[in-house]
Structure 1
Amino acid sequence: MKTDELINLLSQDSAVRFRFGQALAVALLAGVLLAGLFFFAAMGFRPDIYAALESLRFIFKLVVTLALFLAASNLMVQIGRPGARLQWPAVTLVLVPLLLVGAVVAELAAVPSARWGAQMIGRNAHECLSLIPLLSIGPLSAFILALRQGAPQHPGRAGAVAGLAAGGLAAAFYASNCTDDSPLFVALWYTLAIGIVTGAGYLAGKRWLTW
């Protein structure tokens, strides 16, 4: 049997579709719970959380990280089903970095150039690069397990999307602890941290999602 024929048969199998959809729903819930448990056990909210909620920069961190989580999760739902159309979910995912670029441009316009470097480096770069990947371990594991119930045509890409979703979720939790609110900091360090998780997801997909 040719690969395309096998994919078509799998895509027509309602039991497979139901099992994968159910598994992914459980994985998303488990991912939120696992990241939340680790977050509240090891970190918790920043001390000035109520004052921070009045800051647009802080709100933006939550918006952009949650947007990444939701967009990547939507793409993950589709990429685990053989033959699914990925164009629209991929477009929504591309909108997230465009949102971040817009915030960076606004920050550069609002902040004197002499402060750009300090805003970008911040005070919590090390914590960002370590805690976001740590918070991602539980969600990424759950997402990879769920994707094994599907039939992704490109295991590495599917794993990378799972990494993006896990990284976005972890970054949203971490953002409520981090005291660096500048979009310049988010664009550099959050992106690097989520990139680490995405790379780990790609490798995990190549290892455990190949069929």
Structure 2
Amino acid sequence: MQTHELIKALAADSRRTGVAMNTVWWGAVLVAIVVATTIFFALLGPRPDIAIAAQTVRFLFKFVVTIALAASAFALLRMLSRPETDPRGLLPYLVIAPALILTGVAIELIAAPAETWSSRLIGTNSLVCLTFIPLIGIGPLALLLLALRHGAPSHPALAGAIAGLAAGGIAATFYASHCTDDSPLFVATWYTIAITILALFGALGGRVAARW
């Protein structure tokens, strides 16, 4: 059988079992959220002044970015689990969260005095951020990679990396409620590094878990 014929056959089979795959994906993401919730409250919990912080735009903006990343990466991951998907057509999904955070950074640089930029970027929780976003996200990543095994991605490493972004978005959403550094400069730097760690783990895991 030629490669393109195999892909068509797998795609047809995927369509025939679409309900089952939907169940797998939504089950995986729901359990991933439960796992992230458990780890978050066991290790960190929300910041003490969360009620006051929730009244500020910068605090809420963190959730806009992290939820946008988790949602767009999850949608992209489901598409990449099908063998007929061309990754080049999915790039718009990947620019949603970066576009949001770059807009936030631009506004921050305009509004904040230049002498405060460095302190806002470094913040006070950078090491905590780099530790706990991957720690909260590793369980969700494992679940998404297991779900990916039920598909037939043509690019398993890429699909795994996207699973890492989705898991990172979930983890960062929880961590954002604990983090007292609300500057978009901090989020753009340290959250990005932490989520990239999960994306790298995902790429490695995807090559093993989703290979066919």
| Count of equivalent residues | 211
**Contact 2:68/2:96, CA 8 A, preserved across alignment:** no
1:9 alignment partner in structure 2? 9
**Contact 1:11/1:17, CA 8 A, preserved across alignment:** no
Q: Matches of 2:137 and 2:2 in 1, distance apart?
A: 37
Supply the AA of the counterpart residue of 1:66: I
**Contact 1:73/1:165, CA 8 A, preserved across alignment:** yes
Correspondence 1:47-58 to 2 at 5 A: 47-58=48-59
Unaligned runs of 5+ in 2: none
**Contact 1:35/1:173, CA 8 A, preserved across alignment:** yes
Percent identity over the alignment is: 47
1:131 alignment partner in structure 2? 132
Q: Matches of 1:179 and 1:15 in 2, distance apart?
A: 48
Secondary structure of 2:104's match? helix
Supply the AA of the counterpart residue of 2:100: L
2:197 alignment partner in structure 1? 196
Task: Report the aligned-residue RMSD.
Answer: 1.3
**Contact 1:16/1:150, CA 8 A, preserved across alignment:** no
Q: Matches of 1:53 and 1:86 in 2, distance apart?
A: 37
Q: Matches of 2:71 and 2:86 in 1, distance apart?
A: 17
Q: Does residue 1:153 correspond to 2:154, yes or no?
A: yes
Residue 51 of structure 1 and its aligned partner are, at CA, apart by 0.3
- Segments of 4+ moved more than 6 angstroms: none
Q: Matches of 1:16 and 1:130 in 2, distance apart?
A: 39
TM-score by length of 1: 0.96
Per-residue CA deviation, residues 24-60 of structure 1 (Å, 9 max, x unaligned), is 1110111110001111111111000000001110000
Residue 84 of structure 1 and its aligned partner are, at CA, apart by 3.1
Supply the AA of the counterpart residue of 1:25: W
